[in-house]
Amino acid sequence: MSPVTYFIQSCPTCGRRLQVRVEYLGREVSCYHCSARFPADCTPPKADVPSLTFRDLVTGNPGPIWDNCTCR
């Protein structure tokens, strides 16, 4: 039995933390909680990265998700 390695990624839609197998990196995965589909990526969006790019990849619909953050 070979060990399975996971990384933690926050769902871009519902914001919950997910365990994603490293072998799914770069592929599209579904959120366990809200069934949102998004590309598996171990580098979450940062405040200095335009959030539209990541959001468009996920849903194709613009909407205030990350923009609600008040820590900036």
CA–CA separation, 16 vs 14, rounded Å?
6
Closest approach, Cβ 71 to Zn ion, in A, equals: 21
Selected binder of Zn ion within 9, 20, 29, 31 (CB under 5 A): 31
Per rule CB under 5 A, is residue 9 in the interface with Zn ion? no
Selected binder of Zn ion within 17, 27, 33, 37 (CB under 5 A): 33
Per rule CB under 5 A, is residue 14 in the interface with Zn ion? yes
Q: Which residues contact 11 (CB under 8 A, 6 or more apart)?
A: 17, 18, 31, 33, 34, 36, 38
